[in-house]
Amino acid sequence: MSKKQLIMESALELFAKQGFEATSVQQITEHSGISKGAFYLSFKSKDELIMALIDHFMEQFVSDIDHIVKDSNNRGEELLRKFFYTTFHSFQKHSDFAKIFIKEQAHTFNEELISKGRHFDQLIDDITLSMLDQLYGETVQHTKYDLIYCIKGFMHVYSHLFLFFNVPLDLDLLCRSLAEKTELLAKHSTIPFITDELYEMFRKTGHEEMTHGQLIEVMEQKIEELEDSIEKESLILLKQDVQERSLNPAIVKGLITNIRNNPHCRWIAYLLLHFYEI
């Protein structure tokens, strides 16, 4: 395990227990069994550490729910159920992180952190919107933004139960319950509150797209990290294609499916799907 990962795991635990501000760098280094200096070799600052944590987990989460929504085997109410399931399952699996994210997103006054939070929030909105379009199409044109907010509200309030009470819960039942509620609202609610203009206004802050160059940079970095494997080979081929656009779309699709096998590549798979507009 790299030193960076070691620090991230230690910090995750401490932040979840005590909060970001209340955890000192000293505590993190003691918990990791390294020196203070070593910490600053891996991270330029304490802020950079929490940014890295948020990126790490949110990238995974976003690519996971995107994959569910894009998978054409999931249709109708089942898609809805799987969407909720993936969300809560992820919260459950990474509960330490989820606690930090909920707490620090609400609390922080660091500009960069806020905009990072908002960025991922918007990605999730986009995915949710695409799901609603798939499920209900024209029917929800007027009310789709309100639906997004209701779904967010459901996720927020029920995820609290998972995170702050240590009780074994019936995830399947919860997802069926929420899918039913969402269906009810989608099919029968008639009074929209959030209009297109309002929605645009709320997300006005710049949703900076990733550039072509940045994409290649991220891919190169990941290629370095990977051991020799099908995934690495696929990624190298994809990198060439992003630069030259010479491969058959079917091949590209297959290569992306290959790299998604590796959990550490899911985010890149998500970025590539967007790049190729699949």
**Alpha carbon distance 76, 237 (integer Å):** 36
Residue holding tokens 């989608």?
A: 186
How many residues belong to the chain?
Answer: 278
Contacts of residue 76, Cβ cutoff 8 Å, sequence gap at least 6: 135
Q: Which stretch binds its own copies (CB under 8 A): 27-35, 61-69, 195-203, 221-229?
A: 195-203
Whichever of 18 and 139 has its CB closer to its own copies, that residue is 18
Shortest Å distance, C-beta 252 to its own copies = 38
Q: Does 153 bind its own copies (CB under 8 A)?
A: yes
Shortest spacing between CB 100 and DNA, in angstroms: 15
Helical spans, DSSP H, in 71-143 = 76-93, 95-107, 111-136
Q: CB–CB of 53/8 below 8 Å?
A: yes
Cα 77 to Cα 127: distance, rounded to the nearest angstrom: 16
Give the sign of the dihedral formed by CA 182, CA 187, CA 193, CA 199. Answer: positive
- Choosing from 4, 75, 93, 107, the residue that interacts with its own copies (CB under 8 A) is 107
Residue with tokens 């509620």: 181
Counting contacts by CB under 8 A, is residue 198 touching its own copies? Answer: yes
3 versus 92: smaller Cβ distance to its own copies: 92
Among 26, 55, 184, 220, binds its own copies (CB under 8 A): 184
Among its own copies, DNA, none, what does residue 76 contact (CB within 5–8 Å per kind)? none
Q: How far is CA 93 from the centre of its chain?
A: 14
* Residue 188 lies near its own copies (rule: CB under 8 A): yes
Binding-site partner at residue 146 among DNA, its own copies, none, CB < 5 to 8 Å by type = its own copies
DSSP string, 186-224: HHH-----S-HHHHHHHT-S--PPPPHHHHHHHHHHHHH
Residues that bind DNA (CB under 7 A): 3, 23-27, 34-38, 40-41, 45-47
Alpha carbon of 70 to those of 50, 131, 201, 250: distances in Å? 30, 8, 27, 16
**Which residue, 170 or 244, has its beta carbon nearer to its own copies?**
170
Kindly indicate which of the ranges 29-37, 82-90, 98-106, 228-236 contains the residues binding its own copies, using the contact rule CB under 8 A: 98-106
Tell whether residue 64 is a contact of its own copies (CB under 8 A). no
Which residues within the stretch 200-239 sit at the binding site for its own copies (CB under 8 A)?
201-202
Contact 58, 113 (CB under 8 A): no
| Site residues, its own copies (CB under 8 A) | 18-19, 21-22, 102-104, 106-107, 109, 146, 149-150, 152-154, 156-158, 161, 165, 167, 170, 173-174, 176-178, 180-181, 184-185, 188-194, 198, 201-202
